[in-house]
Amino acid sequence: MIVYFYRNAERLSTELLDSLVASMPQQQQDIVLHYKTHRQRCEQALAYTMLCHALKKQQLRIRKAHANAVFRFRDELLTPRYIKRNAPIWAFGEHGKPYITNYEGIHFNISHCREAVAVGISDHEIGIDIEGRRRFSDTLIERAFSDEEKAILKDCDDPQKEFACIWTRKEAWFKYTGTGILMDHLKTTEADARDAGCIINTSPVVATEEGDEVFWLSIAEKRRPIE
């Protein structure tokens, strides 16, 4: 699996955004322009551009990679040429999860939070989620966290960071299944994933110069047999 991430999507200029969107198939233009704010449109356009680049550069590397590889997406790669040459056509599953119809054997997933966008591609089903530190309520913790997760949150030094870490694992699992968030099942995320033979890996993907984690990325995928 290969994952690209990009920070601060809203910094894209209007001119660059318009150029990227104009290069997309009509279906994707409609998806981007459905959103009202500049930030939301930038997130959608950036995610599609990152996916096009990944399809161009990484198809062979997917099968050769022995571990998940995470790359920062560089500004110089924000160009319409990747879209024009490699534009994927989307269709949507029963619960709205997109998949590609014109690239055989390639799976992808997209995630974005307020300050980052991530795109993952693989040769098997995946789910990814990226999240920064965020506020949370006791009501949400009581409803969505298991007793073990509550204990971890209570004993940690940075509750907002730990919440983001745990929450991305839940979202990655539900995006892997394609169901979207199921509130009644949030507490059993880890057990459900294990029973389904799914592994969820979580790691910081962006750090400050002082070494502090800014975002957490979780990747859910089918557990592969040991060779």
Taking only the tens place, the pLDDT of each residue in 122-175 is: 988 999 999 988 888 999 999 999 999 999 999 999 899 899 999 999 999 999
Q: Are residues 21 and 57 in the same domain?
A: yes
Q: Same domain, yes or no, for 53 and 108?
A: yes
Q: Report yes or no: 99 and 92 within 8 Å, Cβ to Cβ.
A: yes
48-52, 75-79, 161-165, 205-209, range with the lowest pLDDT: 205-209
Average pLDDT over residues 83-101: 90
Residue-wise pLDDT for 8-17, tens only, equals: 899 999 999 9
Residues 56 and 117 reside in one and the same domain = yes
Phi, psi of 77 (to 5 degrees): -90, -5
Distance CA 13, CA 176 (A): 33
* pLDDT for 70: 86
Maximal C-alpha separation, the chain: 50
Q: Is the predicted pLDDT of residue 220 greater than 90, yes or no?
A: yes
pLDDT band at 89 (very low <50, low <70, confident <90, very high): very high
How many C-beta atoms lie closer than 10 Å to residue 162's C-beta?
Answer: 19
Residue with more model confidence, 227 or 202: 202
Distance between the two ends of the chain, CA-based, in angstroms?
17
For 13-32, what is the mean pLDDT?
96
- 195 and 95 inside one domain: no
pLDDT, residue 63, reads 52
pLDDT at 38: 95
- End residue of a domain, out of 124, 140, 160: 124
> What is the structure's pLDDT at 182?
77
- Choose among 98, 167, 177: nearest CA to 134: 167
- Is residue 209 predicted with pLDDT exceeding 70? no
Same domain, 21 and 77: yes
Looking at the whole model, is its pTM more than 0.85?
Answer: yes
Which one of 105, 124, 143 terminates a domain?
Answer: 124
| Mean pLDDT taken over the chain | 88
Structure token pair of residue 148: 């073990």
Answer whether residue 227 is part of any domain: no
For residue 62, pLDDT beyond 80: no
> 61 pLDDT exceeds 90?
no
Cα separation, 165 vs 183, in Å, equals: 18
- Per-residue pLDDT at 60 exceeds 70: no
| Residue 30 pLDDT | 96
Domain carrying residue 179 = 132-222
Structure tokens at 150: 């509550």
Paired tokens of 51: 């996916």
Predicted confidence at residue 164, as pLDDT, reads 92
**Domain check: are 164 and 139 in the same one?**
yes
Q: What are the E-state strand segments in the chain? A: 2-7, 69-72, 90-92, 98-100, 107-112, 116-122, 126-132, 198-207, 213-222
Would you place residue 68 in the very low, low, confident or very high pLDDT band (cuts 50, 70, 90)?
Answer: low
Q: CB neighbours (10 Å) of residue 136?
A: 18
Considering the domain architecture, whether residues 93 and 155 belong to the same structural domain is answered as no
